[in-house]
Chain A
Amino acid sequence: DAGVTQSPTHLIKTRGQQVTLRCSPKSGHDTVSWYQQALGQGPQFIFQYYEEEERQRGNFPDRFSGHQFPNYSSELNVNALLLGDSALYLCASSLGQGIYEQYFGPGTRLTVT
């Protein structure tokens, strides 16, 4: 049973650049959530995608956008990168109808220099 996968594992970008992170949900799951985890902090909710639409959004600027594909995989895009965007980005998947348990991927470590 394939779990949640994310790519890439690590990424280094320069301020002002754009980045795309990818996530494949656990087999059988149709909902993907994205979280940002700054060093020493708990994860913060960015947004959730269900049926290829953004279902809920946290307190993040419009520079953060996403997409969900028909196969339920998802992308997180961040434009005009800031130093403060350096963090671990976690993807979590769940079932749309039984969303109480979210299963997390290993994350993508983004460093902005």
Chain B
Amino acid sequence: AQTVTQSQPEMSVQEAETVTLSCTYDTSENNYYLFWYKQPPSRQMILVIRQEAYKQQNATENRFSVNFQKAAKSFSLKISDSQLGDTAMYFCAFLKLGGSNYKLTFGKGTLLTVNP
């Protein structure tokens, strides 16, 4: 079974600064996807970014980028130029590819607060 660990329950950052959220995972699989989801107080879970395990290049989406270290099983999220609207719970999630598995496995989340 796969596990996802987010070791930072809470983090804070000043507006316009950069923050990095950590995620590690445990799996014996070789083919999988990793995701970061954002859940603001409105509760809607929003996909931020995804990374295919077979790709060595780190994914980037505007101010959001990841540092994917497959051997270390690490998948951190960097948010640049933080904005007040980035305040939310952030969840790291793992999806094994192939076979009959279709479920996302989530970490416990990191609460990020962006301060003005």
Contact = CB atoms under 8 A, between A and B. Distances in A.
Interface string A72-113: 000000000000000010101000000111111111010000
Contacts of A58: 103
A56 interface: yes
A104 B91 CA distance: 13
Nearest to B32: A100
B82 to A, nearest CB: 22
A56 B100 contact: yes
A43 B45 contact: yes
Nearest to B50: A101
A10 B55 CA distance: 41
Contacts of B104: 33, 35, 43, 45, 92, 102
Interface in A22-72: 31, 33, 35, 40-45, 48, 50, 55-56, 58
A42 B50 contact: no
Contacts of A56: 100-103
B91 A48 contact: no
Contacts of B107: 42
Contacts of A100: 33, 50, 95, 97
Interface residues of A, number: 27
A88 B102 contact: no
Contacts of A42: 4, 91, 93, 106-109
B44 interface: yes
A55 B100 contact: yes
Given A103-B47, A104-B45, A106-B44, A33 B109 contact: no
A42 B91 CA distance: 7
Contacts of A90: 45
Interface of A: 31, 33, 35, 40-45, 48, 50, 55-56, 58, 88, 90, 92, 99-107, 109
22 contacts: A31-B102, A33-B102, A33-B104, A35-B104, A40-B108, A41-B108, A42-B91, A42-B108, A43-B106, A44-B106, A55-B102, A56-B102, A58-B103, A88-B43, A100-B50, A100-B95, A101-B50, A104-B37, A104-B44, A104-B45, A106-B42, A107-B44
